[in-house]
Amino acid sequence: MSGYYGFDNSGDEAVLQSILLALEEQGRAQGIRLIPVVLSIDPAKTQKTYGVEAVHRMKLGELVRAIRGADGLISGGGSLLQDETGFKTIPYYLAVLKLAQWLGKPTFIYSQGIGPVHRPMFFSWIRGVFNKCRFVSVRDQESKQLLQKMNVTKEVMVVPDPVMGMPLASTGHQVEDLPKGATSVVGVSLRFWNQDRSELKAISEAIALILEQSDVHVRFLPFHLPSDTAASEYVIGLLDPKYHARITIADNVTHPQHMLSEVSRCHLLIGMRLHSLIYGASQQVPMIGISYDPKIDQFLNRLDMAAAADTKLIHAEVVASEALQLLREREAWQRLKKPLIDRLKSEAQRPAEQIASFFK
């Protein structure tokens, strides 16, 4: 299993957990046992957290031995094939897939988000590898259209992000009690994006308006440690100290199902991180998306929603007004979105079902 694993990014860890659970369930349903070997930047932590075998993703000898000893390679999910965050990302993930293909192993693309891809030279690289895969699935229609633009001829299945199918943990994480007097929890998932921090300043103004006009408790939910904790602390530092008693941070929550528990008790979620919004949707928590990347808009589109703002321009009054309205109309939002959410949940295991069927 190849992905962005072991980096303390709750969203990608949730992808891993969701795929592991789906493979276990679908393998059992089809009478076979799928034994995962995860390529991770921190194999010891991955092994301890999920109880699976893991090898170092950057140690070539370990990686080659793992793939040579495997019956196939799964690549995904997440936004692995994009060059927005750097030049090396696409070559790495394609090289892992190509290595598996050279070794005669079947390869599977599991609910990936493709793009943005700014460098046309990568189009032929992706096309060459994807056309040799046994199964290709992406998490949105826009990813499929981009692959078609690259002239990928392999059939491409559009499925939800695997995290839509992740269940709450039956035991383990205890969420903090609400402070006395608080009736609702507003979860906030932030990240650094603009160099001048203008997006975080605007969000702090929106949060101040929400706190001023309601009795909510604001719970910051850092998805990528430690940077999201620093972003949360930056925003808290901009808020009037009179509000600090009504603000907490869910810090050092590293297991994805424990973070899912944190999200599940929110009455509203304001999210920049894609997987914070996916967590919210899976638990039927009304949400407000702040877009910094097309993947945010693409996910919200699947729920017939649009981002309240993007990082280029955020009107604090608009965000606060929408938040307060959603808090008032929470049950109506849940009734309206439940059919869409239920459909996404039911479709989330289709890649695991296809992979189990292949090996059966």
Report pLDDT for 33: 95
Report pLDDT for 319: 98
Report pLDDT for 124: 97
Q: Is the pLDDT of residue 280 over 70?
A: yes
138-154 tens-digit pLDDT: 999 999 999 999 999 99
Average pLDDT over residues 305-312: 96
Q: Is the pLDDT of residue 172 over 90?
A: no
Domain regions of the chain by residue span: 10-167+347-359, 185-344
Report pLDDT for 183: 79
10 Å CB burial of residue 71 (0-12, 13-18, 19+) is exposed
Q: Give the Cα separation of 135 and 355 in Å (integer).
A: 8
Average pLDDT over residues 206-220: 97
Average pLDDT over residues 256-279: 95
Q: Is the pLDDT of residue 111 over 90?
A: yes
Cα–chain-centroid distance for residue 30?
A: 28
Report pLDDT for 334: 98
Report pLDDT for 8: 87
In this prediction, what percent of the chain has a pLDDT beyond 70? 97
Q: Which pLDDT band holds residue 179 (cuts at 50, 70, 90)?
A: low
Cis amide linkage into residue 226, ω under 30° from 0: yes
Q: Counting runs of H as helices and runs of E as strands, what totals does the chain give?
A: 14, 12
Q: Does domain 185-344 have CATH number 3.40.190.10?
A: no
Tell me, what DSSP letter sits at residue 115?
-
Give whole-number Cα distances, 153 to 112, 150, 178, in Å.
17, 9, 53
Tell me, what DSSP letter sits at residue 281?
H
pTM attached to this predicted model = 0.87
Report pLDDT for 171: 64
Q: Does domain 10-167+347-359 have CATH number 3.30.750?
A: no
